[in-house]
């Protein structure tokens, strides 16, 4: 039985391995970002429907999350390659350099991706640039404070222990809850509106 399980695991690994090499890696990272953003939104919408039975699941909202996630995939793919070239280090021996990578990621990539998220979703939902920028101003600090709570420890593990070709996939694996939070932040109903409804 164990031998059969080992063969199955080896076959699965052999089938998946090409997805993390060469040009396929970019497609894997891109589609992974999109799929998990849509899944995070699906989780959030399921919660909202349970809380407010009059609300219906909105597939266009999840499709917008998928599109924005897919647009972020190539950026993250290139970002990690660039960061690894700029500051090559891994393992505990490279901890000071890894800490610099985490800091650069938080100071550069996090704000860029936060703005990208709010502006991209706003555009796909038909909001004007002015409306999307206003929402970004209203919600950015709440987003960025939450970002600082989750991503520095996650990125520390990423840069210390995860092989470069799996970095985006590792981050994607952690994003289901984060994407549900982003969906909540973007689509939450203000308290006054909720009481009127």
pLDDT in 10s for each residue of the chain, 197 residues = 556 656 766 765 666 566 566 678 888 889 989 998 899 899 889 988 888 888 899 999 999 999 999 999 999 989 998 998 999 876 677 889 999 999 999 999 999 999 999 999 999 999 999 999 999 999 999 999 999 999 999 999 989 888 888 888 888 888 878 888 888 898 876 654 444 44
Nearest residue to 160 via CA among 70, 113, 93, 81: 93
Contact 116, 71 (CB under 8 A): yes
- pTM attached to this predicted model: 0.79
The number of beta carbons lying within 10 Å of the beta carbon of residue 77 is: 20
Delimit the domains of the chain by residue range: 2-196
The number of beta carbons lying within 10 Å of the beta carbon of residue 71 is: 17
Q: How far apart are CA 14 and CA 189, in angstroms?
A: 46
């Amino acid at each position: 039985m164990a031998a059969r399980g080992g063969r199955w695991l080896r076959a699965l690994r052999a089938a998946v391995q090409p997805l993390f090499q060469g040009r396929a890696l970019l497609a894997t990272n891109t589609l992974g970002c999109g799929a998990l953003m849509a899944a995070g939104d699906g989780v959030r919408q399921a919660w909202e429907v349970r809380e407010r039975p009059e609300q219906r699941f909105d597939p266009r909202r999840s499709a917008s999350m998928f599109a924005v996630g897919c647009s972020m995939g190539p950026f993250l793919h290139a970002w990690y390659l660039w960061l690894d070239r700029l500051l090559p280090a891994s393992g505990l021996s490279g901890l000071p350099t890894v800490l610099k990578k985490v800091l650069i990621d938080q100071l550069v990539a996090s704000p860029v991706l936060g703005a990208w998220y709010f502006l991209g979703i706003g555009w796909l939902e038909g909001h004007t640039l002015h409306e999307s920028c206003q929402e970004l101003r209203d919600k950015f600090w709440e987003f960025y404070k939450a970002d600082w709570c989750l991503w520095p420890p996650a990125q520390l593990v990423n840069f210390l222990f995860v092989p470069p070709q799996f970095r985006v996939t590792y981050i994607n694996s952690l994003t289901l809850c984060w994407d549900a939070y982003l969906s909540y932040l973007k689509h939450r109903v203000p308290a006054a509106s909720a009481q009127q409804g």
